[in-house]
Structure 1
Amino acid sequence: MPRFDAEYVPRSAMAIYAHPDDIEFTVGGTVAKWARAGCEVTFVLITSGNSGTHDRKFTRKTLERVREREERESARILGVARVVFLRHGDCELVPTLALRKELVRRIRRHRPEVVLCNDPQALFFDDRYINHPDHLAAGKAALEAVFPCAEMELLWPVAGPVHKVHAVYVSSTVAPNTWIEVADTIETKIAALAAHRSQLGDRDISPMILEWARGEARRAPAGKASGKKSPSRPKNAEAFRVMRIVREEN
């Protein structure tokens, strides 16, 4: 059985998020690190961010095309194997049974060892950010698709052969238990984010991303834990609550 620690690299991973750029902001460093080490990564974007602008030159259809093009370029920079767009409406996402079934179909088709998604319980971040309702809905739908639905033989057989995901890496969480060092891939993450010009324009986001990654690293424990020497605190990190569905054998 795999060990789901900070050094673990899955053979395959699927990131299920609401909008283009969500993955890059939250887990882009980890994705780049895993892809560089040989992990086959699939992105599933439930919406194409077709409401995500205050610029009235766009329609929802033209913005969808732009944001999908940006996402494909960003995924290429990160080393992602494939990008799937489900094209639900931005700002209209609800974790319905129909959406769960769509995600089960994708999980069974691509058979990821690990799924990454948002924490559906993370409504507030200090007093500076109210989490987007699409983020909460995407996280809830992803978790429900992973467990138990994707692995149940009698449920939706037309969605493909069942598959058991080994672990879920939950990002943007107030209760992380794993920190992944991304110092070697932080510049790749920044480059991938820069591809999302419809959202960021030409502004330099490097200071913001570096400060965020250092802040995440400062949250990581250091010293000794459970009688074993812990790894040194990372320099730049992405934090996760790792939920182990397949447990390690003793």
Structure 2
Amino acid sequence: MTLIEFPEDWDSALVVVAHPDDVEYPGAAPVARWTAQGKRVIYLVACRGEAGLDDVAPEEAARLRVSEQIAAGAEVGVSDIEFLEHPDGMIEYSMGLRREIAKTIRRVRPDFVLIGNHREMSGNGMLNMSDHRAVGQAAIDAIRDAANRWVFRDLEDEPWDGVRHLALLGSPTPTHAVDVVEHFDAGVRALLAHRVYLENLETSPAAAEAMLRKFAMSVADDFDGRPGVALEML
């Protein structure tokens, strides 16, 4: 398999994921590359991660994880981060979720939408969790919803049919890759910004960096020897 260079003929991107930290496993290095090029990148996170810390009450966990996601975004040049109020671990595919994502697409008018993997399997060979699948599929459908003026007619913003690229992060069947040679360290710093979350998982900073390096080098085998992050173009 040969991975194709991901196109960069766009100016703005909306990244739609289920949880705080989903972007950083391992999508933050490409974001650092893109913001360094002057592109605008916005994150839309479907929940606040309140169920992600086993020994921390949900209200406090939500506060911590939102704070860590904001810090992670700052490491790669992203300051525009929006959080929805869906329940962590129990997110359902719904018209309401589609509407919220479509509303954001109409408002921010991205050229490119990057979403978390909605497939049954993750790129690491493990079963994908239901939150990821629900949010990913809703985001795919919301792109079409955002373009159709007769869908969600109560939304104030005009329809937007300008999404030219749609890709999956963490797909088991990638087609493209982004060269992260110059931005790998920024991606590591973004992941390490989730300090409490990583500590809860008993993942040391060294182990987190080694994991990201392993991911990047596994892409290199199919990407002209260059470390990268793989995406599936839809």
Query: Partner letter of residue 74 of structure 1?
Result: A
CA separation in 2, counterparts of 1:47 and 1:109?
Answer: 20
1:7-26 → structure 2 map (5 Å cutoff): 7-26=7-26
CA separation in 1, counterparts of 2:8 and 2:134?
Answer: 28
| CA contact 1:10–1:34 (8 Å) conserved in 2 | no
In the alignment, structure 2 segments of 5+ residues that lack a partner are none
Aligned-pair CA distance for 1:119: 2.4
CA separation in 1, counterparts of 2:136 and 2:26?
Answer: 13
CA separation in 2, counterparts of 1:124 and 1:185?
Answer: 24
Query: Partner letter of residue 233 of structure 2?
Result: V
CA separation in 2, counterparts of 1:67 and 1:119?
Answer: 21
Match of 1:157 in 2: 153
Query: Partner letter of residue 212 of structure 2?
Result: I
| CA contact 1:48–1:90 (8 Å) conserved in 2 | yes
Does the alignment pair 1:203 with 2:205? yes
Q: Which has the larger radius of gyration?
A: 1
Extract structure 1 runs of 4+ deviating beyond 6 A: none
CA separation in 2, counterparts of 1:125 and 1:239?
Answer: 9
- After superposition, the Cα gap between the structure-2 partners of 1:72 and 1:64, relative to the gap in structure 1 and judged at 3 Å, is same
CA separation in 2, counterparts of 1:53 and 1:88?
Answer: 17
What SS class does the counterpart of residue 241 from structure 1 fall into? Answer: strand
Does the alignment pair 1:78 with 2:82? no
What SS class does the counterpart of residue 115 from structure 1 fall into? Answer: strand
From 131, 134, 140, the counterpart of 1:134: 131
1:60-209 → structure 2 map (5 Å cutoff): 60-123=58-121, 129-146=126-143, 148-159=144-155, 160-164=157-161, 165-201=163-199, 202-204=204-206, 205-209=208-212
| RMSD between superposed Cα atoms in Å | 1.7
Count of aligned pairs: 224
In the alignment, structure 1 segments of 5+ residues that lack a partner are 221-232, 244-250
| CA contact 1:42–1:83 (8 Å) conserved in 2 | yes
- TM-score normalised to structure 2 length: 0.90
- After superposition, the Cα gap between the structure-2 partners of 1:115 and 1:125, relative to the gap in structure 1 and judged at 3 Å, is closer
Aligned-pair CA distance for 1:81: 3.7
From 225, 230, 233, the counterpart of 1:239: 230
Greater relative contact order (CA < 8 Å, ≥ 6 in sequence)? 2
- Richer in strand (by share): 1
CA separation in 1, counterparts of 2:147 and 2:219?
Answer: 33
Aligned-pair CA distance for 1:189: 0.4
- TM-score normalised to structure 1 length: 0.85
What SS class does the counterpart of residue 84 from structure 1 fall into? Answer: strand
